[in-house]
Structure 1
């Protein structure tokens, strides 16, 4: 007989057994789930690793392309660079042409001071002949600084405007404004209105002078940076030639036409230039800064021969430099005065300012200087025209010197030679009035004006274009040019006072003053101006970040793989 309790025990334990079985199943399910999670985690980690490898490969490829493009630029000769980038040279030429308008007007106003009909209308009488009238010293100085006052406003606007719109549209804006402002100058009938009109015209000049060196230095390869940025000085000379030829032709006409026609001729520049610049490519560096890489490649293709260039590699080189300088903040003027950017800003400002302290104002006031040195009115205009023509020739010679000898070398040697001639000018003006003294002063004034355009002046434009960081370039060139105008204002008043018979009446003795200021500029440049010849923008960034002393730049080697 079977025990009756056993079946009951068996059935009574069934729920517990089922629970145990259920628990085991749940454990198995959990284990399977854990395994699935582990597999998903492993799969995710694998995907991340693969993605990271892909990203590293892309970075490696992009850096390799950048290195290739930089090496290609370093290995180019000047002629090879011209053949590879023919249109870059052309567009640099067009952008540099905008400087001719500031040059034209600056020399025009200074030449008006020596123009009989202009003095008859706006000058104060000194005898019975109105052609011998003299424009008051205060108005001479005001007329000399009026355009620069407007340009000071223009350069302050240029940095932000160019960072926002780009070089092309900022320049087009200036050209259209200039067309309008010339009307005010042409119809002016009093010195205060002329003064106001010149201030208005100066605003577009400030945009041109801030943008041109930056644009020219960005669109050409390393070997062409010197000649293409130095074209700015050549066009400054051409502007003085044009205005010299016009005023020389009209200086014998004793009617308002003698100064109205030269003013009206300003209209021949803005519209044709605006049409050309509308079709110009934007700076690829600016496009890379904006993240528009495909447009940057297209711009590079327009600047050079596609058969000789790899546009992708060139943009990769630009991208490498832009990312080297990248920060989370947009470019601002405050950055210009922080860290190593302060050093770079001071170099640009110093080089710009020193143009007014090493003989430039003698060149800008050449005709008036020759008159005060004892030359006749007609001879003074002729010598002014000869000076401008020689300046253009010497600027072209400076292309060769700066390209092969370097920026620092030409700047320092040119400044030193200029100081010697300025001292000689002072001596010639100190020996008493005579025909020989007048000829010596006129000759030395001409030599100083010409040599200035062989050394310090053209080298300055290259230094200005190369020194600033890429992301801050529009702002730096604007602030640098602003420093030029700030220093120029007191220098113009001083120069006018020194030459004016009613003022200091120093004539050639002004050479002592400019030799002293030039010597200060020379000493500062000797210790703080680096040599940037044959340096890529990446290398320049790294040398500044490493705080390499200026005189050791030529001996410092930067590896192609270095990014800091």
Structure 2
């Protein structure tokens, strides 16, 4: 066996032993037995950062449906005697921000890798205060468009660092829950801003939309202050040859819930993995060599299907489209949709670490496909009745639940756990850039697909996104491995041994002869070390 394989196996052994011993029957037990106050506070703070992401994103999406926003940035229609935002500007406003997102993702990855996870969060929180100022003072189309693009630099930085930081500090048993909680916090942030916009929507002046936008200051200021109270990632510290600080950090995250030996085992597995990384520094070309090519394609694919199945229709254009139907209060329905999405995310996060990722990916895509196809069918009638329009709204909510139940949270989980350690940052970065590209394409084209004067498909866009959801089901079935309950190092081992992707879930690493050999060797070395100490 090569040195590379030996290191991979050793890392798998260390993680597998400790994660097996710490295995818990449900997430409540895991949180109680594995999360000390420091880890719990850190994870909560990181979740609050992604809360700000959802708050800002849905704030921009919802204020577009306000009459006062249309009066400020739209055109007057003499036939309808009302203001409306033209399709081309809706397209720009909901797609150009992904240019800022891509830049922010790249910048955030660099700052996070070179200066640390905490410095990345500090800098992006300070920057967010500048973008909030630009947005709340907007008077022209160009300024509000610039504000949204600049705001997405902050969101891109947040996307680059928060899931990675969470994955690095969370025990294996709870990794799916905590990394997936990223999506839950997005939805909760969206719910809060939907409640606020519903309360201000009927104001006749620009305060209707300026008040929600003004609240964009709150969370970055809070997070930028509290980030000084948490430890740095032990993986990042160890990667920068700061061994003592790394051990101190790991102890702060584990003390009181893990024994000294378990903490030492985890420290050693990180150390071994990073030493292997130092010997084999990966390049972007390495992403498409050997088993890494499969990993890269999985991460790219799951990010493509998160966007191309039409989430932008519900999240970016949902409120303004429901308002155009004229059957229900669009702002109140945005609250309903947010609650439905939160329920879906909570169920997924509580259960996916017990029943696996793929179960919920399947169920979510099935629900998305059915809802989208039904929505498209309701729009085929020459006369779309009020009941049909209400049915379309109902299908949008079913879609939101299904998306939040499957691909919304679990895309981030899979993207963070599939890559090999030495290429994790690069693989995750490529996956997110692909995610951004397809989010841009969907958001840019939607107004032209929906509105009169162009394709005017209305709810029939459901046929397009429903077909992509079916393709997503096929991709998930054959290409996405089941990794729940496995440590990051165990996943490395499975890929290294070329275990068929559909058999990952049932494959027991400890049954491998190499696993037994290196477990015994490692335990022997640990015992010798303890005796010397």
Please indicate the TM-score interval, normalised by the length of the shorter structure.
0.7 to 0.9
Q: How far apart are residue 532 of structure 1 and its match?
A: 0.5
Unaligned regions of 5+ residues in structure 2, if any?
Answer: 1-5, 520-533
Secondary structure in 2 aligned to 1:229?
helix
Q: Partner of 1:390 in structure 2?
A: 340
Q: Do structure 1's residue 214 and structure 2's residue 164 form an aligned pair?
A: yes
TM-score normalised by length of structure 1 = 0.83
Q: Partner of 2:395 in structure 1?
A: 444
Q: Partner of 1:144 in structure 2?
A: 94
Secondary structure in 2 aligned to 1:125?
strand
Q: How far apart are residue 406 of structure 1 and its match?
A: 0.5
Q: Do structure 1's residue 312 and structure 2's residue 257 form an aligned pair?
A: no
Q: Do structure 1's residue 338 and structure 2's residue 289 form an aligned pair?
A: yes
Out of 352, 355, 358, the residue aligned to residue 303 of structure 2 is 352
Instruction: Indicate if the aligned counterparts of 2:11 and 2:490 stay in contact, CA closer than 8 A.
Output: no
Instruction: Indicate if the aligned counterparts of 2:108 and 2:161 stay in contact, CA closer than 8 A.
Output: yes
With over 3 angstroms needed to count, the CA separation of the structure-2 counterparts of 1:342 and 1:410, relative to structure 1, is same
1:90-105 equivalences under 5 Å are 90-105=41-56
Q: In structure 1, how many angstroms separate the alpha carbons of the residues matched to 2:156 and 2:91? A: 19
Instruction: Indicate if the aligned counterparts of 1:373 and 1:441 stay in contact, CA closer than 8 A.
Output: no
Q: In structure 2, how many angstroms separate the alpha carbons of the residues matched to 1:260 and 1:152? A: 26
Instruction: Indicate if the aligned counterparts of 1:542 and 1:563 stay in contact, CA closer than 8 A.
Output: no
Out of 106, 120, 124, the residue aligned to residue 156 of structure 1 is 106
Q: In structure 2, how many angstroms separate the alpha carbons of the residues matched to 1:69 and 1:101? A: 33
Q: Partner of 2:523 in structure 1?
A: none
Q: In structure 1, how many angstroms separate the alpha carbons of the residues matched to 2:11 and 2:73? A: 64
Q: In structure 1, how many angstroms separate the alpha carbons of the residues matched to 2:238 and 2:397? A: 45
Instruction: Indicate if the aligned counterparts of 1:213 and 1:464 stay in contact, CA closer than 8 A.
Output: no
Q: In structure 2, how many angstroms separate the alpha carbons of the residues matched to 1:172 and 1:154? A: 14
1:173-322 equivalences under 5 Å are 173-306=123-256, 308-310=258-260, 311-322=263-274
Q: Do structure 1's residue 486 and structure 2's residue 437 form an aligned pair?
A: yes
CA deviation map 1:445-490 (0-9, x unaligned): 1111122111221221211221122233333322221111101111
Secondary structure in 2 aligned to 1:554?
coil
Instruction: Indicate if the aligned counterparts of 2:11 and 2:272 stay in contact, CA closer than 8 A.
Output: no
Q: How far apart are residue 123 of structure 1 and its match?
A: 1.0
Unaligned regions of 5+ residues in structure 1, if any?
Answer: 1-59
Q: Partner of 1:81 in structure 2?
A: 30
Out of 380, 386, 409, the residue aligned to residue 458 of structure 1 is 409
Q: How far apart are residue 85 of structure 1 and its match?
A: 2.2
CA deviation map 1:19-39 (0-9, x unaligned): xxxxxxxxxxxxxxxxxxxxx
CA deviation map 1:17-72 (0-9, x unaligned): xxxxxxxxxxxxxxxxxxxxxxxxxxxxxxxxxxxxxxxxxxx9xx9998566413
Q: How far apart are residue 133 of structure 1 and its match?
A: 1.1
Q: In structure 1, how many angstroms separate the alpha carbons of the residues matched to 2:220 and 2:211? A: 17
CA deviation map 1:372-423 (0-9, x unaligned): 34424xx111011111022112211111221111112211232122112211
1:398-409 equivalences under 5 Å are 398-409=348-359
Instruction: Indicate if the aligned counterparts of 1:158 and 1:478 stay in contact, CA closer than 8 A.
Output: no
Q: Do structure 1's residue 549 and structure 2's residue 500 form an aligned pair?
A: yes
Deviates more, 1:295-304 or 1:444-453: 295-304
Deviates more, 1:339-348 or 1:415-424: 339-348
Q: How far apart are residue 512 of structure 1 and its match?
A: 0.4
Q: In structure 1, how many angstroms separate the alpha carbons of the residues matched to 2:113 and 2:334? A: 39
Q: In structure 2, how many angstroms separate the alpha carbons of the residues matched to 1:249 and 1:133? A: 21
Q: Do structure 1's residue 426 and structure 2's residue 376 form an aligned pair?
A: yes
Instruction: Indicate if the aligned counterparts of 2:15 and 2:489 stay in contact, CA closer than 8 A.
Output: no
Q: In structure 2, how many angstroms separate the alpha carbons of the residues matched to 1:222 and 1:437? A: 46
Rg: which structure is higher?
1
Instruction: Indicate if the aligned counterparts of 1:426 and 1:512 stay in contact, CA closer than 8 A.
Output: yes
Instruction: Indicate if the aligned counterparts of 2:378 and 2:459 stay in contact, CA closer than 8 A.
Output: yes
Q: In structure 2, how many angstroms separate the alpha carbons of the residues matched to 1:312 and 1:323? A: 16
Instruction: Indicate if the aligned counterparts of 1:287 and 1:295 stay in contact, CA closer than 8 A.
Output: yes
With over 3 angstroms needed to count, the CA separation of the structure-2 counterparts of 1:328 and 1:462, relative to structure 1, is closer
Instruction: Indicate if the aligned counterparts of 2:116 and 2:236 stay in contact, CA closer than 8 A.
Output: yes
Instruction: Indicate if the aligned counterparts of 1:428 and 1:441 stay in contact, CA closer than 8 A.
Output: yes
Q: How far apart are residue 163 of structure 1 and its match?
A: 1.5
With over 3 angstroms needed to count, the CA separation of the structure-2 counterparts of 1:64 and 1:541, relative to structure 1, is closer
With over 3 angstroms needed to count, the CA separation of the structure-2 counterparts of 1:66 and 1:536, relative to structure 1, is closer
Q: In structure 2, how many angstroms separate the alpha carbons of the residues matched to 1:73 and 1:110? A: 42
Query: Would you say how many aligned residue pairs link Structure 1 and Structure 2?
Result: 499
Q: In structure 1, how many angstroms separate the alpha carbons of the residues matched to 2:176 and 2:491? A: 15
The CA RMSD measured in Å over matched residues stands at 2.4
Secondary structure in 2 aligned to 1:133?
strand
TM-score normalised by length of structure 2 = 0.88
Deviates more, 1:92-101 or 1:109-118: 92-101
Q: How far apart are residue 338 of structure 1 and its match?
A: 3.4
Q: In structure 1, how many angstroms separate the alpha carbons of the residues matched to 2:433 and 2:101? A: 8
Q: In structure 2, how many angstroms separate the alpha carbons of the residues matched to 1:66 and 1:475? A: 21
With over 3 angstroms needed to count, the CA separation of the structure-2 counterparts of 1:291 and 1:189, relative to structure 1, is same
Q: How far apart are residue 272 of structure 1 and its match?
A: 0.7
